[in-house]
Chain A
């Protein structure tokens, strides 16, 4: 099972066709943790690129 299929399966388990939406803890946790982890990785990557290539990158606003 790929990462993509895993994400889709988690969404589908929370929202089964024809049934009311029931939030599973994995779905709720991923909605919060995924962007935080991604934000951390991006911030660290940008810092690394700035150090290695001696450039100034963005990423300080939203």
Chain B
């Protein structure tokens, strides 16, 4: 059974005007571009993909959010803007569940959360506008083929980010394996930026009594928010893998407050992200429902598997999956 995704089809025809005049269907492995350019995707593929991405999110943890949009583009040929917008809207659901599930387990520093949101909001809007610019930037010719500029740029950005995350995960796993064989505990990663950013005294300085921080420059909080917001708006990721270490190591927030504040801030940021991306037409409601439904059982299986398999070998597997995805993304652009 195949389904036609209305918004994905619409933007595909905008990105590749030639498809609107297509006489014969183009068959991919898991999708078909029908005459007049409509994108039909196998429902089973989308359900399996949603399940696997939910599973990866729970199984591998930080950084796995970077897989969703490139995999949707790679396997189902969904334009990046729709993949990012729908992914972000889907994250509103997971953030709502996470906030309700974690309620009472961690403190929420509302003042810090709102300052972070200010920076994130600006970053998210700039990220979404960048995507909007790429959407209408037209096509470029690469190796005799016409490719949308958005496809090329987003493949490069995702490829770079995934390569960075993959290398971090690989190095961490290797360090743990090395420590296991030598019997020496792995040293804590050095964070040279920490001490430097904590000494920034650029006014206005704000105090965060709930977090036990006497004075911190507002610009540092806004900066942390801006960077994560930019990633959220452009790539549709939660940015928690940057926000959480930044809250703990850069701002010196206690871990229990960081968890609660991170969840709170991301929920309001994701709501704003879903709103702004939907106004720009980047959310496909049909795809959204499929991803929401399919990712839940995947996420629960991931939690169960993580208890059984957690360890450096699992991280090496994640790094391997990232390598394969980067390779496939490059092949999609050049073939």
> A residues touching B (Cβ–Cβ < 8 Å)?
4, 7-8, 10-12, 14-15, 17-18, 21, 23, 27-28, 30-32, 34-36, 38-40, 42-44, 46-47, 57-62
Asked if A8 and B6 make an inter-chain contact with CB atoms under 8 angstroms apart, the answer reads yes
Asked if B281 and A15 make an inter-chain contact with CB atoms under 8 angstroms apart, the answer reads yes
Give A50 Cβ to nearest chain B Cβ, in Å. 10
Asked if A21 and B96 make an inter-chain contact with CB atoms under 8 angstroms apart, the answer reads no
Of chain A, the residue at the smallest CB distance from B292 is A38
Q: In whole angstroms, what is the CA distance A26 to B57 when docked?
A: 30
* Chain A residues with CB below 8 A from B42, complex form: none
Where chain A touches its partner, the secondary structure class is helix
**Interface assignment of B90: CB less than 8 Å from any CB of chain A:** yes
Give B167 Cβ to nearest chain A Cβ, in Å. 23
Of chain A, the residue at the smallest CB distance from B6 is A11
Q: In the complex, which residues 1-58 of chain B have their Cβ closer than 8 Å to any Cβ of chain A?
A: 3-4, 6-7, 10-11, 13, 20, 57-58
Q: In whole angstroms, what is the CA distance A18 to B14 when docked?
A: 9
Of chain B, the residue at the smallest CB distance from A4 is B286
Where chain B touches its partner, the secondary structure class is helix
Asked if B281 and A23 make an inter-chain contact with CB atoms under 8 angstroms apart, the answer reads yes
Instruction: Given A8-B286, A43-B96, verify A27-B292 contact (CB < 8 Å).
Output: no
Asked if B92 and A40 make an inter-chain contact with CB atoms under 8 angstroms apart, the answer reads no
Of chain B, the residue at the smallest CB distance from A5 is B286
Q: In whole angstroms, what is the CA distance A62 to B93 when docked?
A: 9
Asked if B10 and A17 make an inter-chain contact with CB atoms under 8 angstroms apart, the answer reads yes
Q: In whole angstroms, what is the CA distance A7 to B304 when docked?
A: 33
Asked if A58 and B58 make an inter-chain contact with CB atoms under 8 angstroms apart, the answer reads yes
Instruction: Given A12-B6, A39-B100, verify A7-B286 contact (CB < 8 Å).
Output: yes
Q: In whole angstroms, what is the CA distance A18 to B17 when docked?
A: 10
Instruction: Given A10-B285, A35-B288, A62-B95, verify A40-B58 contact (CB < 8 Å).
Output: no
Asked if A59 and B299 make an inter-chain contact with CB atoms under 8 angstroms apart, the answer reads yes
* Chain B residues with CB below 8 A from A46, complex form: 97, 101
- Write the B148-191 contact mask toward A (1 if CB under 8 angstroms, else 0): 00000000000000000000000000000000000000000000
Instruction: Given A10-B285, A62-B57, verify A31-B300 contact (CB < 8 Å).
Output: no
Asked if A15 and B289 make an inter-chain contact with CB atoms under 8 angstroms apart, the answer reads no
- Stretch of B202-210, B220-228, B270-278 with 4 or more beta carbons under 8 angstroms from chain A: B270-278
Q: In whole angstroms, what is the CA distance A32 to B101 when docked?
A: 20
Asked if A43 and B100 make an inter-chain contact with CB atoms under 8 angstroms apart, the answer reads yes
Q: 24 A-B contacts, Cβ less than 8 Å apart?
A: A11-B7, A15-B281, A17-B13, A23-B280, A23-B281, A28-B275, A31-B274, A31-B288, A34-B285, A34-B288, A36-B92, A38-B96, A38-B292, A39-B92, A42-B97, A44-B100, A58-B304, A59-B97, A59-B98, A59-B303, A60-B102, A60-B105, A61-B98, A62-B57
